[in-house]
Structure 1
Amino acid sequence: MDALAGLLDGPRARGAFLLRMVMEPPWAVRIEDRAPICLMSVRRGTVRVTPPGGGVPVRLGPGGIAVVRGPDPYTVGDTDGTAPHALIGPGGVCTTLHGRPLAEDMALSVRTWGNAADGGTAVLVGTYLMAGEISRRLLDALPPLLTVSADARTGPLLELLDAEIARDEPAQRVVLDRLLDLLLIAVLRAWFARPGGDAPAWYRALGDPVVGTALRLLQDDPAHPWTVASLAARAGVSRAGLARRFTELVGEPPMSYLTAWRLAVAADLLRESDATVEAVARKVGYSTPFAFSSAFKRVRGVSPQEFRGGPPGDGRADARDALGGKPGDARDAPGREPGDARAADGNGPCDPRHLPEPQRSLP
């Protein structure tokens, strides 16, 4: 499993927050949900997205797609630069800037939210509420805001998501989650493949016939007792040749990459499963729990038991460094607070399926 697949594996798009936002100017919404990643696609009209940190706003017209990397706040609104009227907090809770709930005012129909049912602007929004350690390697490679235009791959997916998002049928949540997965993968592939694209080194290296083979072996079977020699034999090159080329393309030696990958997989297993530390150690290639615990604490700064029992942020800074992030970079995306569980199941305060008829304008 590579890091692009890892973004959508483990604690990811199960119960993602999806809606169609329909607006008529003037309008603007400030997003402070601290979600690790959000995808938006403009179906009609034009919107202005101000990226996290207050960077240069980006305009998106029909077919425009934006991916915003959390957890920092950002703003989406009309093209006139209207000041935000509403705020979306953790779990998709919608309020005015002063904290008054807006769920009843803004609900239009099933998974459709806005200030006017016939508004001139319509945007599909999909938010991933949680992220694991494997996906952190990918998230850390993304800018705060990236944009692409719909193409032959993303266009049909957008049409299907637009048609499905307003349906309320059995297993609809699963259908929407998988469509969002497919769309996000297609968007990120397009962004990494663009001319002059700034894809991370490990992503570019996957296209190399030698290093790509070694990377896939390490990612697909981290529990195997890999050595540089065994990887080189599978890739059909000399040991020295693989070590040199791998380090040149990926930025670290094969065994260093393997250690970081094993510990990232282990961290996700500790968070999302009831497996014992001994079982997790075996799954990621450590012969004894002691060896695994020593390696984990050396990188994370906490033991596996402490990591599992502590808040989601524990040990994340060291994990980011091990997976190629930047020390001190504010990219950690904590999971939802316990009180936000209803939103992940589609029953949170902003879920429009259970709300009465709205008013037609923002307060």
Structure 2
Amino acid sequence: MDVVSDAISAVRLGRPSSNRLRVGGSWCTRLAPYDGAGFHVVLEGGCWLLPDGGGDPVTLGPGDAVLLPHGTGHVIADSPADRATVARAVPFEQYAGSAPQGGTELLCGKYRLDRSRVHPLLAELPDVVLLPNRVGSNPELRFAIDLLGRELEQARPGACLAVPSLLDLLLVYLVRAWLAGASTGAWPAALGDPVTAAALRALHSDPAAPWTNDRLAAEAGVSRPTLARRFTTLVGRPPMAYLTWWRLTYAATLLRDTADPLATIAHQVGYAGPYAFSHAFNREFGTTPGRYRTELQDRPPLPVS
């Protein structure tokens, strides 16, 4: 695995959902804050997006994509959203259930995320990530958008598997495009630094390995002091502290997504046995692994939409 894949896998819940929306004339709709991430892709026409909290309106044209990684509430409309526009906004569900009409077509969707252990890479994403449709930029993202549009044009055999898979792929490409285009931020810098990126790749590829600072420095091809300085500066914590945090975060994902016994999970994340694993997990999460899993099982099931 790699950092981006692991960061997304650790927080993603259930299946993503999407709606294809066609509107025209004077229109304005509101999407309430959401415990996950949302996105919009303009397939045809254009619109404006106004995030909650007084952010500047964002104009969207054909092929533009926008990711709201923290589930920020917002309005999308046919014109710049001022106070009067926001006041007349109707719930998105009302538009999503209406008959298609008009010259603007959007693909709108959302991902369920577990906010209890968000990787700092995802936490660093801004409230609104705009990825404009520029010739030659982000070709994989453009290809995924085209595929999604085609799948949603009509019901095709296998669409129930294809669409959620393409939506997951879209999220990866959206995050990847942000990383490639970001001019500031700790994690774009960390993944762009060859030494830190090599160390992160090694830790995520095999978190259960008996890593030491010396072994990790050799993997990255630098001295131990160089690794410690560059890694700590860019990631925000020393290599072994990051490894401990990631092992326990990964363990929490395994407790959520598998029925593996604690001894198996302990081994998968680099602990000699359940006792050492339980002690470390309790220190990080304030509860034992068994109680953590039980509390997850006692949660009400996720709603369908």
CA distance in 2, matches of 1:132, 1:284: 21
Q: Deviations over 1:255-282 (max 9, x none)?
A: 0110111111011111111122222111
CA distance in 2, matches of 1:339, 1:243: 42
1:145-184 matched pairs, under 5 angstroms: 145-151=128-134, 152=136, 153=139, 154-184=141-171
What SS does the corresponding residue of 1:15 show, helix, strand or coil? strand
User: 2:40: which partner in 1?
Assistant: 40
Q: Deviations over 1:168-207 (max 9, x none)?
A: 233312211222233332232222222x6234x2442223
Q: Deviations over 1:43-87 (max 9, x none)?
A: 222222121434222121212211012344222222153335432
User: 1:87: which partner in 2?
Assistant: 91
As a proportion of its length, which structure holds more helix? 2
1:62-101 matched pairs, under 5 angstroms: 62-79=62-79, 81=81, 82=85, 83-88=87-92, 94=93
Task: Quote the offset at 1:33 in angstroms.
Answer: 6.0
CA distance in 1, matches of 2:65, 2:99: 22
Code of the aligned partner of 1:43: L
User: 1:222: which partner in 2?
Assistant: 207
TM-score normalised by the chain length of structure 2: 0.86
Contact 1:54 1:74 in 2 (8 A): no
Contact 2:48 2:77 in 1 (8 A): yes
CA distance in 1, matches of 2:79, 2:174: 24
Q: Deviations over 1:271-326 (max 9, x none)?
A: 111122222111110112121112112121222222222259x9xxxxxxxxxxxx
What SS does the corresponding residue of 2:130 show, helix, strand or coil? strand
Q: Which has the higher contact order (CA 8 A, sep 6+)?
A: 1
Task: Quote the offset at 1:8 in angstroms.
Answer: 4.4
What SS does the corresponding residue of 1:310 show, helix, strand or coil? helix
What SS does the corresponding residue of 1:66 show, helix, strand or coil? strand
Runs of 5+ consecutive residues of structure 2 not aligned to the other structure: none
Task: Quote the offset at 1:138 in angstroms.
Answer: 3.1
Out of 181, 184, 187, the position equivalent to 1:198 is: 184
1:52-63 matched pairs, under 5 angstroms: 52-63=52-63
Code of the aligned partner of 2:210: P
In the alignment of these two chains, the number of paired residues is 297
Code of the aligned partner of 1:87: P
TM-score normalised by the chain length of structure 1: 0.73
Contact 2:6 2:204 in 1 (8 A): no
Task: Quote the offset at 1:161 in angstroms.
Answer: 1.1
Code of the aligned partner of 1:261: W
Code of the aligned partner of 2:287: V
Distance 1:187 1:29, change over 3 A: same
Task: Quote the offset at 1:14 in angstroms.
Answer: 5.4
